[in-house]
Amino acid sequence: MDKKVILITGASAGIGKAFAEELLKDGHTVYGAARRVDKMDTIAKQGVKVLAMDVTDEAAMAQGIDTIIKAEGRIDVLINNAGFGLMGAIEDTPLSDARYQLEVNLFGVARLTQLVLPHMRKQRSGTIINISSIGGKFAMPLGGWYHASKFALEAMSDALRNEVKQFGINVVVIEPGGIQSEWGGIAVDNLLKVSGKGPYAPMANKFVKAFTQSIDAKLPGPTEIVKLVRKAIAAKKPKTRYHAGHMAGLALFMRWLLPDNAFDKMMSSQLK
Bridge partner residues of 149 (DSSP): none
Which residue among the candidates 17, 137, 150, 181 is catalytic per the annotation?
Answer: 150
Q: Across the beta sheet with 29-34, what order do the strands follow?
A: 49-52, 29-34, 5-9, 77-80, 126-131, 169-176, 241-244
The span from the CA of 68 to the CA of 181, in Å, is 28
| SS3 at position 98 | helix
Annotated active-site residue 31? The verdict is: no
Annotated active-site residue 265? The verdict is: no
Annotated active-site residue 12? The verdict is: yes
| SS3 at position 230 | helix
Annotated active-site residue 45? The verdict is: no
Where residue 161 falls (left for φ over 0; alpha for ψ -120 to 50; beta otherwise) is alpha
| SS3 at position 166 | helix
Which residue among the candidates 4, 17, 49, 132 is catalytic per the annotation?
Answer: 132
Measured at the CA of 200, the angle between CA 219 and CA 264, to 5 degrees, comes to 60
Which residue among the candidates 31, 146, 200, 242 is catalytic per the annotation?
Answer: 146
Tell me the catalytic residues: 12, 132, 146, 150
